[in-house]
Each structure stands twice: as structure tokens, then as C-alpha cells.
Amino acid sequence: MLKVFTAAGAGMLLVLTFTPARALDNGLARTPPMGWNSWNSFHCDVSAKLVEATADAMVASGMRAAGYVYVNIDDCWLLKTRSRHGDLVPDPRKFPHGIEAVAAYVHRKGLKLGIYESAGATTCAGYPGSIGHEKQDAAQFARWGVDYLKYDNCGDYKGETYLQRYTAMRDALAQSGRPIVYSLCEWGNKQPWTWAQPIGNLWRTTQDITPRWRTDQPENSYPQGILDILDQQAKLSTTSHPGAWNDPDMLEVGNGYLTDDESEAHFSLWALLNAPLIAGNDLRDMPQGVRDILTNRDVIAVDQDWGGRQGYRVSEDGNTQVWAKPMSDGSVAVILLNTRRGPVNIVTTAKAIGSRAAASYRVRDLWKHTDSVSDGRIEATVGTHAVAMFRVWPGSKSGTR
Ligand code: GLA
């Protein structure tokens, strides 16, 4: 769509913007959304208390300053039946003052509120879904001050196709008059990367994540480990754009069976994939090491690069992988990944990762936060289930950034 704005003043200002139809035209999520979601750590144990304490922690931990914005309530926030007017009713034991009060609290902290519903007759935990009630529910969310909707795929579809169900909520959100990020949670069943760009701001590409390095389960089964999901992203690098993101599921950094190195690898890889960075740990009780991972600004800058080009797999040899992402300033972000046990030396080159040719390169280690100069060889010894992550600028002078 071509938009032309003109304004008369001291001179005539003419601004042209071009919004390709390949992304939902709601102006939101121009970089991948960043925030937190209750599901991975709390499942159905959600409440106003938890959400408000999480918002406090997001500020106190430095996460808000690092770019995290959305505080998202997942399933189980509502009662099992609608009101006699057909409205969704927040569970008064969990949200005694309703969602509106929680939204106001979160907004006062300079953050935004997200909520969860399903494009079927029930949510995955058996609460009322939104099919047939899209307009009513979207209007309700807008009245409450909701800024983000995760829209799941559970319950009876009542004979409607996935396109009808996900489009109905898109249109209802647009009609609600409030800017609401629209996150499709269709689990990758119908390959949403082939159709979801004009419908949602992001779409899940896989079944649910679990905090394990790998499960080796088949693609369509539940749950999936970090490496299982990573493998499924390799073919998707050209299908995301600003406003329209592949979502390899929420972060498990700091959760379950993941070591610190595995959490670091997971965070690095999700950033390189332009994934939404939606933390799934308990922010109220976060070890310093986990906080350091989630607030690593060098890595976050890779995810949030305005050019929005997703990373891709350069090579793999069974034990190691190299991934690269072109950055909009002409640098290239690169990950050397050791998928197995025991340290291994991994080598790539500026040429292999698609960097512009130069006599020398400035190489920044995004975890050690140190700079060095290279003739083009990029190398590190990488431990068990870990990564080294660099950003490579052609030309060795500092300030070429
Ligand atoms: C599905 C989704 C999860 C979570 C649960 C809630 O499994 O994929 O992310 O929202 O439902 O019931």
C-alpha cells in the first residue's frame, strides 16, 4: 500500500512510505516483539499478583531498559463459561480487579500487556475459545487496554478453515480500534510461513518448546528441544520480514534442564533467527547469570536490527554448525555452535558468512564484549552445547560500526 502524507508549513513536507502486502499492515512489531509470557514457568498458575510482580521485576532487572516491553498472560486467566451476555470473564480469584486493572498497572510501568485466546471453541486448557465471538472478544480486549494477543489453535474449529479462523480475529482486532500485536500460535501445522504474513505479526513455526537441549522427537510431536526447533528453522530464513516474524516459541532461558551454556546458545540462536524474545522464566527470582543472558545488549541488537533479515545456516557437519545473519550496517552476525559434548574448535571465514571483502575485519565477541582484528578467519573453541557469537565488520577501524 502506498501512503502519502503532506503537510504545509514553512515548506512542503512529503513523506512516502511503502508497506508491502507481505506484512500485516498494522504498523506493529517492526522488530521482533520482546517481553515475557507466563506459560513456560507457571502454566495455569496465573494471577494479577504474578503479572504485576513480573512487571516490577522487568523494570528492576534492567530488562525494560534492554528493550523488553510485553508482559503476557497465557492460558487459564478466565472462567470456564462466558457471561450471560457472551463476554469472557476473568477468573475473579486470579484477577480480582479484572484485566483492566492489571493493564493499567503494567502501563504505569511503561510496559504493555498481552493476553491469550484460541481460534477454536476452547483454549488448550479447556476455557472458552474465541471462534464465533471474535468481534466481541477483540472489542473486550481493546476496552481492557490489551496490547498483544497470542491466538492459539485448540478446540473445535466448527468447520472453519485455519485461514477463516485466523483472518476473522485479524479483522476483529483491526476493527477494535486499538493497536494490538497479533501472534498466531498454530504450531506450524499448516506451514504458516507460507500464508501468515498478511494475517499476523508473528506465527509459531513448531510444536511447544521444552527446556531441554534436544528431545529427538518427530517434528509434529510434543514437546520439542532447543536443537529440534533449531533444525526446523533452517528452511525458513527468507519467510520473515519486518512486521511478520517466524516464532520458534518462547524462551526457556534459565528454565528446566538447560545449563547456562545451553541457555546462552538458545538465546544467541533465537536472536540470530529474528525470533520474538519472550522470556519464559520466573523474573521475580532470577540468578544473575540468567539476567546477564537476557539483557545482553550486543545479542539483543542482532535480533532487533531494523533491516529484519533472518539468519540462516551456513554449514553443519553433524557436531558443529555455523549460522550467519546480515546486519543492516553491513556487518554480519555469526554463531559457531557445538551441538555435542566436549570442546571443539570451529572455524569459518568472513567470505563464508557473506561479508564484504576487506583487507581486515573488526570482530566483536558478543558474549565476552571484546574487539579484535582478523584477516578473515573466524575461530573459537566452543564447549559442550555452547556457542561463540561474533559480529564482523569489514575494515578494522573502530567506528566502522
Ligand atoms: C498450547 C500453546 C502453548 C500454551 C498452551 C496453553 O500448547 O502452544 O504455548 O499457550 O497451549 O494451554
Q: Which domain holds residue 99?
A: 34-303
Residues 79 and 162 in one domain: yes
Tell whether ligand 1 has an atom less than 6 A from the beta carbon of residue 231. no
Tell whether ligand 1 has an atom less than 6 A from the beta carbon of residue 42. no
Residues 193 and 143 in one domain: yes
d(CA 145, CA 155): 26
CA of 337 to the centre of ligand 1 (A): 29
CATH number of the domain encompassing residue 237 = 3.20.20.70
Cα three-residue angle 381-385-388, rounded to 5 degrees: 40
Residue 357 pLDDT class (50, 70, 90 cuts) = very high
Closest atom of ligand 1 to CA, residue 43:
6
CA of 95 to the centre of ligand 1 (A): 20
Tell whether ligand 1 has an atom less than 6 A from the beta carbon of residue 127. no
**Contact yes or no for 375/341 (Cβ under 8 A):** no
Residue 398 pLDDT class (50, 70, 90 cuts) = low
Residues 230 and 125 in one domain: yes
382 within some domain: yes
Per-residue DSSP letter, 130: -
Q: How many domains does the chain have?
A: 2
| Ranges assigned E (strand) in 158-250 | 181-184, 202-204, 245-247
- Among protein residues, the one with the nearest Cα to ligand 1's atom 5 is 124
**Contact yes or no for 71/58 (Cβ under 8 A):** yes
| Ligand 1 binding pocket mutation candidate from 74, 127, 229 (most atoms within 8 A of CB) | 74
169 within some domain: yes
pLDDT of res. 106: 99
**Contact yes or no for 78/128 (Cβ under 8 A):** yes
Tell whether ligand 1 has an atom less than 6 A from the beta carbon of residue 73. no
Residues 297 and 317 in one domain: no
pLDDT of res. 339: 98
Task: Give per-residue pLDDT as tens, 1-54.
Answer: 334 333 333 334 444 444 445 789 899 999 999 999 999 999 999 999 999 999
Tell whether ligand 1 has an atom less than 6 A from the beta carbon of residue 247. no
399 within some domain: no
- Among protein residues, the one with the nearest Cα to ligand 1's atom 6 is 75
Burial code of 329-362, b = ≥16 C-beta within 10 A, e = fewer?
A: eebbbbbbbbbeeeebebebbbeebebeebeebb
Residues 385 and 295 in one domain: no
CA of 209 to the centre of ligand 1 (A): 10
**Contact yes or no for 336/316 (Cβ under 8 A):** no
Task: Give per-residue pLDDT as tens, 274-294.
Answer: 999 999 999 999 999 999 999
Rounded to an integer, the average pLDDT of 287-303 is 98
Distances (CA, A) of 70 to 36, 276, 360: 6, 11, 41
Rounded to an integer, the average pLDDT of 162-189 is 98
- Among protein residues, the one with the nearest Cα to ligand 1's atom 9 is 208
**Contact yes or no for 246/312 (Cβ under 8 A):** no
CA of 303 to the centre of ligand 1 (A): 24
Tell whether ligand 1 has an atom less than 6 A from the beta carbon of residue 303. no
Tell whether ligand 1 has an atom less than 6 A from the beta carbon of residue 124. yes
Residues 254 and 169 in one domain: yes
- Which residue in 209, 215, 118 sits closest to 157, CA to CA? 118
For the cut 70, the answer to whether the pLDDT of residue 401 exceeds it is no
For the cut 80, the answer to whether the pLDDT of residue 371 exceeds it is yes
Residues 265 and 368 in one domain: no
Tell whether ligand 1 has an atom less than 6 A from the beta carbon of residue 264. no
Q: Is 60 helix (H, G, I), strand (E, B) or coil?
A: helix
Rounded to an integer, the average pLDDT of 220-229 is 95
Mean of pLDDT over the chain: 94
Residues 281 and 345 in one domain: no
Residues 51 and 130 in one domain: yes
- Residue finishing a domain among 303, 335, 368: 303
5 within some domain: no
22 within some domain: no
- Cα torsion 390, 31, 106, 96: sign: negative
Residues 86 and 188 in one domain: yes
Task: Give per-residue pLDDT as tens, 328-341.
Answer: 999 999 999 999 99
| Ligand 1 binding pocket mutation candidate from 40, 124, 207 (most atoms within 8 A of CB) | 124
- Residue finishing a domain among 303, 322, 339: 303
275 within some domain: yes
pLDDT of res. 396: 73
Which residues does the annotation mark as catalytic? 152, 208
- Residue finishing a domain among 303, 336, 354: 303
Share of the chain above pLDDT 90, in %: 91
153 within some domain: yes
Contacts of 348 (CB under 8 A, 6+ apart): 314, 315, 322, 334, 336, 378, 379
Residues 277 and 387 in one domain: no
Tell whether ligand 1 has an atom less than 6 A from the beta carbon of residue 75. yes
Share of the chain above pLDDT 70, in %: 94
**Contact yes or no for 212/148 (Cβ under 8 A):** no
What φ, ψ does residue 190 adopt, rounded to 5°? -105, 35
87 within some domain: yes
Per-residue DSSP letter, 284: G
CATH number of the domain encompassing residue 379 = 2.60.40.1180
| Ligand 1 binding pocket mutation candidate from 208, 229, 278 (most atoms within 8 A of CB) | 208
Residues 163 and 222 in one domain: yes
pLDDT of res. 12: 43
Closest atom of ligand 1 to CA, residue 153:
1
What φ, ψ does residue 233 adopt, rounded to 5°? -90, -15
